A and B are shown apart, each in its own frame.
Chain A
């Protein structure tokens, strides 16, 4: 039996143009448009033709970017709003953890609010009385339950709201990103509670940005993008597809912001023919006073010019998003209008906080410049990008042995490192765990 059936559901919201947003009774009466103004004019589809079913006892995870229609879908399933077309059917008692403690009245005590909130969620007074101690204990609120809710901290507020909602004992539980609120301990408790629900054969619909949770916890995943279904099925597969898609769009964003950074550094984008550049002295020849202050910029005499910098993944495709542990090539395209022999090529890697993760140049690695002329390439290959997940920036420079800059690109290139492991720090050494007989681990599910 299906607990949730959503069949070709669409939700169209009306969108007001700025003028209409402030439509008043007066103007509606004056223009005789009282009825017309109650009808949508400009519309916005928050959901388009979404179809899925959740069999009783299964858990469906809904993922997608902000504004992709996840919460709208949850509201449809909860019955708070009606679909503009299509049908939504839910079997059994629903409890929606959409906004916790939404019905709390600040002036009255937690105890009274638990009762009223419980009744709102469909419990009877007797049922609440029976579960009251359990609710208070779950919320860890014993000492404060008789204080007015307005004196609660936001954490207490949410905990109590969660505790009531979870004790409604629903057949279908709808969860909207509520796990982000409590502290670590409470989050674990919530997850345990969800697991218990699952064991007891309840149906759960979980909207979350925590992809790990979807993979670990859900039987199926639904990926929404701009109101449309992008995928439905095995959580691992859907999450994988979603992550790839996010990377692609991050890629685009980074490319755009790189282009902007180079532009504001006073240079022409590398796509344009470098020939239009005057021979010398664009931007400043002066280095900023403090080399270690991480500000973007470009300077140098341009006797050797860096015309192009590309980051390439193992497949040779230029990109901006890479995976930890994979190969990264930094290809530096240069042009030297005259023959030179005093030159050093260097790179520097910085993390988002501006900490230098690694820096080197050809001179440090005991290579002495012999000759450069015309168009030339240098490729810096990192066999294994052993960095933790995060955003990194790149310095690329060509200068004289004594430091006189030909062309210095400071933090003009940004890339992201992605990782399945959420470890911390900067550098991830190649590592492995081994254990003696006394210790045993089991592979975590998922």
Chain B
């Protein structure tokens, strides 16, 4: 397992090229090309702003502007959810590579997660513009936490992607189950509602959801005033994510030899 992890480092050039290819290929043939990576989150934000300002005015206090609050959670969630959806299919659609080329299969889910991370990054300038526009209370020490949150999410997402991609090769139903799980997961995460709104029992349940801590961390750093109080949870999640990633890699490694025959 560990030699394989080290080998992965040798393939960073390939990972880099594949991520670039993924991004290029996605918008190839569209007129606006890369700009869609900006426009998609922008439109999302505009739609939410409109809905929650005029159609369903938010009731909770201290959540103004509500669209911005929600955007802080939606942007990373989109990264997470599309990474998982795509990586559940990535070994099967990339079957040709696994069957016909000597190719470390874990590169495929990793590339998926990284490509979606780039999309996430491309959405950040939109977020930044709105943060400045609404004069969000950003503090320098808080902003320094931001890369840490991104890193924790990256490790956690990689772990999920590895396990999902490996298991989907054997159980194709995971692809269908996943869509439903992600919907449930989205609503079980304080993204469109604040953590503080949840009753005590609900909060305990929410605390067991790893993505809660990512979402809350993003919100505290970017949206709420005051210090970043969630850092203990974040670091704990970070440590757990690393363990989870290693476990996921172990599972993937064990199943590796079956891929060429099953996809």
Q: Are A81 and B17 in contact (CB under 8 A)?
A: no
Report whether A99 and B260 are in contact in the complex, using a CB–CB cutoff of 8 Å. Answer: no
From B48-56, B66-74, B172-180, B240-248, the one touching the partner chain is B172-180
A99 contacts B100, C-beta separation under 8 Å: yes
Neighbouring B residues of A23 by C-beta, 8 Å? 171
Nearest residue, chain A, Cβ from B258: A38
Q: How far is the CB of B174 from chain A (nearest CB, A)?
A: 6
Please determine whether A116 and B21 come into contact, CB atoms closer than 8 angstroms.
Answer: yes
B257 interface residue per 8 A CB criterion? yes
A209 at the interface (CB under 8 A from B): no
Please determine whether A119 and B13 come into contact, CB atoms closer than 8 angstroms: yes
Contact, CB under 8 Å: A121 / B101: yes
Query: Closest residue to B261 on the A side, CB-wise?
Result: A13
Q: How far is the CA of A78 from the CA of B255 in the complex (A)?
A: 19
Q: Number of residue pairs across A and B with beta carbons under 8 Å?
A: 76
Q: Which residue of A lies closest to B22 (CB)?
A: A105
- A102 adjacent to B13 (CB under 8 Å): no
Residues in B neighbouring A121, C-beta threshold 8 A:
101
B170 within 8 A of partner (CB): yes
B260 cross-chain contacts in A, Cβ below 8 A: 75, 80-81
Report whether B172 and A24 are in contact in the complex, using a CB–CB cutoff of 8 Å. yes
Chain B residues lying within 8 Å of A78, measured Cβ to Cβ, are 102
**With known contacts A24-B171, A102-B96, A115-B17, A148–B28 Cβ distance under 8 A:** yes
Assess whether A80 is in contact with B101, with CB atoms less than 8 Å apart: yes
- Give a binary string over A116-159; 1 marks a CB under 8 Å from any B CB, 0 the rest: 10011100110000000000000000000000100000000000
- Whether the pair B261, A103 counts as a contact (CB closer than 8 A) is no
B interface SS class: helix
Q: How far is the CA of A98 from the CA of B102 in the complex (A)?
A: 10
The answer for the CA separation of A69 and B101 in the assembled complex, in Å, is 18
CB-defined contacts of A98 to chain B, threshold 8 Å: 100-101
C-alpha gap A251/B165 in the complex (Å):
49
Determine the residue in chain A with the shortest Cβ distance to B13: A119
Q: Which B residues are CB-close (under 8 A) to A115?
A: 17
The reply to whether A112 and B13 form a contact with Cβ atoms under 8 Å apart is no
Contact with B along A77-105 (1 / 0, CB 8 A): 01111100000000000101011001101
Determine if A25 is an interface residue (Cβ-Cβ < 8 Å).
yes
Q: Are A120 and B173 in contact (CB under 8 A)?
A: no
Q: Are B28 and A108 in contact (CB under 8 A)?
A: yes
- Does A28 lie at the interface of the complex (its beta carbon under 8 Å from any beta carbon of B)? yes
Per-residue CB proximity of B223-259 to A under 8 Å, as 1/0?
A: 0000000000000000000000000000000010110
- Take A24-B171, A25-B174, A119-B17 as given contacts and tell me if A96 and B28 are in contact as well, using a CB distance cutoff of 8 Å: no
| Number of B residues, CB within 8 Å of A | 28
Cβ-based interface call for A41 (8 A): no
When the two chains form the complex, which single residue of B101, B170, B177 contacts A120, counting CB atoms closer than 8 Å? B101
- Collect the chain B residues with CB atoms within 8 Å of residue A18's CB: none
User: For residue A79, which residue of chain B has the nearest CB?
Assistant: B102
B17 touching A38, Cβ below 8 Å: no
- Would B13 and A96 count as touching, CB distance under 8 A? no
- Distance in angstroms from B1 CB to nearest chain A CB is 15
Kindly list chain B residues whose C-beta atoms are within 8 Å of the C-beta of A96. Answer: 100-102
Q: Is the CB of A125 within 8 A of B13?
A: yes
CB distance from B161 to the nearest CB of A (A): 18
Binary interface encoding of chain B residues 168-208 relative to chain A, with 1 for a CB under 8 A from any of its CBs, else 0:
00111110010000000000000000000000000000000
Determine which of A13, A26, A80, A119 lies in contact with B102 in the assembled complex, contact meaning CB atoms within 8 Å.
A80
A108 touches B96 (CB 8 A): no
Distance from A38 Cβ to chain B, minimum over Cβ atoms (Å):
6
* Structural contact, A102 and B17, CB atoms closer than 8 A: no
Find residues 43-79 in chain B having any chain A CB closer than 8 Å to their own CB: none
* A75 neighbours in B (Cβ, 8 Å): 260
| A107 contacts B by Cβ under 8 Å | yes
Interface membership of B97, Cβ < 8 A:
yes
B173 neighbours in A (Cβ, 8 Å): 24-26
- Least CB distance from A154 to B in Å reads 15
Taking CB as reference atom, which chain A residue is nearest B107? A120
Q: How far is the CA of A93 from the CA of B93 in the complex (A)?
A: 27
A34 → B minimal CB distance (Å)? 9
Q: Which of A81, A102, A105 contacts B257 (CB 8 A)?
A: A81
Nearest Cβ distance between residue B84 and chain A, in whole angstroms? 16
Residues of B within 8 A of A28 (CB): 171
Cβ contacts under 8 Å, A102 to chain B: 96-97, 100-101
Separation of A279 and B172 alpha carbons in the complex (Å) = 66
Is A216 at the interface (CB under 8 A from chain B)?
A: no
Complex contact B21–A108 (CB within 8 A)? yes
Say whether A14 faces chain B, with CB atoms less than 8 Å apart: yes
Among A80, A82, A94, A124, point to the contact of B99 (Cβ < 8 A): A80
Distance of A109 Cα from B81 Cα, bound (Å) = 29
> Across the interface, which residues of A come within 8 angstroms of B170, CB to CB?
37-38
Once bound together, how far apart are the Cα atoms of A24 and B21, in whole Å?
33
CB-CB under 8 A for A25 and B101, given A99-B96, A108-B21, A148-B28: no
Within 8 Å CB of A125, what residues of B? 13, 17
Q: When A26-B173, A99-B100, A108-B28 are in contact, do A116 and B18 touch as well, CB less than 8 Å?
A: yes
CB distance from A115 to the nearest CB of B (A): 6
Q: Are B261 and A25 in contact (CB under 8 A)?
A: no
- With A13-B261, A14-B261 known as contacts, the answer to whether A25 contacts B177 (CB < 8 A) is yes
The answer, among B25, B102, B258, for a CB contact under 8 Å with A107, is B25
CA A115 to CA B17, docked complex, whole Å: 8
Nearest first, the 3 closest Cβ-Cβ pairs linking A and B are: A25-B171, A99-B100, A102-B100
Identify 26 residue pairs between A and B in the complex whose beta-carbon atoms are under 8 Å apart, listed by A's number: A14-B261, A23-B171, A24-B173, A25-B177, A78-B102, A79-B102, A80-B98, A80-B102, A80-B260, A81-B257, A81-B260, A96-B100, A96-B102, A99-B99, A99-B101, A102-B97, A103-B101, A105-B25, A107-B24, A107-B25, A107-B28, A108-B21, A116-B14, A120-B103, A124-B13, A125-B13
Task: A38-B255, A80-B98, A125-B17 given; name 8 further pairs at CB < 8 Å.
Answer: A25-B177, A38-B170, A38-B258, A81-B257, A98-B101, A108-B21, A116-B17, A120-B103
Binding site for A on B (CB under 8 A): 13-14, 17-18, 21, 24-25, 28-29, 96-103, 170-174, 177, 255, 257-258, 260-261
A residues with a Cβ closer than 8 A to B are: 13-14, 23-26, 28, 37-38, 75, 78-82, 94, 96, 98-99, 102-103, 105, 107-108, 112, 115-116, 119-121, 124-125, 148
